[in-house]
Homo-oligomer: A and B are copies of this chain.
Amino acid sequence: MGTNDSAPRAPEIVRIPFDELDREFRRVLVKNGFDPGKAEICAGIFAENTLVGVNSHGINRFARFIQYVKDGLVKPEAEPLMKNKAGAIEQWDGCLGPGPLNALHCTRRGMAIARESGIGCVTLSNSNHWMRGGYFGWEAAKAGFVFIGWTNTIANMPAWGAVDRRLGNNPFVLAVPFEKEAVVLDIAMSQFSYGVIESHELRGKQLPFPGGYDQSGRLTTDPSQILQSGRLLPIGYWKGSGLAILLDIIAAVLSGGESTHNISKRHAETAISQVFILFDPSKFGEGSSIASAIKTIIEDLHESSAAADTKEVLYPGERLTRTRLDNLASGIPVDRSIWEEVKSL
């Protein structure tokens, strides 16, 4: 009674314990052809991504991931294969296996090479969406490594000055160890993702900053206008456009894999290319002196004078670390209908 069906309804949130979420993901993965070992790792990544609050690349994406498995786009039985090795760089073929498993494998290979050579680079072709790139940065940084990695994607953003989507938003991840956690930056080259724009539209909200163009070519904060034009704004205008172009070229060239242009000829995003560069800083300094150098930088950042509209100045990954602890203690907030969908898979 009194419900207005035309108004967007706020999703009902339930809090699910990490273990329950993890178990449920694992069950569905095994049911869909993952062997128990792979199901455990893959479920752990989806659960962790949800735990840290990135539901868009955790639980909210899980049903679509399973659909890709059913459609044969993601092959649960595929193992990555080394194509080439030269010194401190290796080229792997992801064989269209699960993106998170391939990316984790390459991160760990990069760490192994870096332990030998100070630096290790692993490139990956023919992989699938890695979900949240920050996961792999965190994995490396918590083990004491510096991580630089990125992926290309299907075309979803016009180049600077263009109206048609020919660039990927090519998420880029940088991570370093910090105390028992890490400083991790995980950013796409579009100012806002489609997910964020769509959720603002659903809630009838404007974006906090211009996120794209309307159909007459003016920058706008209106999510509906941007979804209509399809002209998402790159970060820093021409700068993010240039970053997206170069990250795509380097990923395709070093991996011998597909560029955004070629990926976009398919009907779904698959056969993407990724780069993982790992550094072992312990080769060049005491762990304690490295930790103290990083601490000094973070302390200086924390001493910033906050602007009037800002509560505190945080380092990349700081809020996520807090969310993780909160959600471990109180359960992970998820949309009830999405949770029901996962349970029905």
The verdict on A196 contacting chain B, using a C-beta distance below 8 Å, is no
What range describes how many residues of A lie at the interface?
A: 35 or more
User: With A and B bound together, what is the CA distance between A308 and B86 in angstroms?
Assistant: 47
Partner-binding segment picked from A47-55, A65-73, A99-107, A248-256:
A248-256
**0 or 1 for each of A262-293: is its CB under 8 Å from B? (1 = yes):** 10000000000000010111011100001001
Contacts of A277 on B, CB cut-off 8 Å? Answer: 119, 277
Contacts of A307 on B, CB cut-off 8 Å? Answer: 158, 161-163, 213, 217
**0 or 1 for each of A289-325: is its CB under 8 Å from B? (1 = yes):** 0100110110011011111111011111000000000
Contacts of A250 on B, CB cut-off 8 Å? Answer: 146, 148, 174, 176, 279
Contacts of A185 on B, CB cut-off 8 Å? Answer: 239, 242-243, 245-246
Interface SS of chain A: mixed
A279 CB contact (under 8 Å) in B254, B261, B284, B296: B254
Contacts of A174 on B, CB cut-off 8 Å? Answer: 243, 246-247, 250
B259 close to A161 (CB less than 8 A): no
Contacts of A245 on B, CB cut-off 8 Å? Answer: 183, 185, 297, 301, 315-316
List of 5 A-B pairs having minimum Cβ-Cβ separation, nearest first: A235-B236, A87-B117, A89-B118, A161-B310, A162-B304
B158 close to A304 (CB less than 8 A): yes
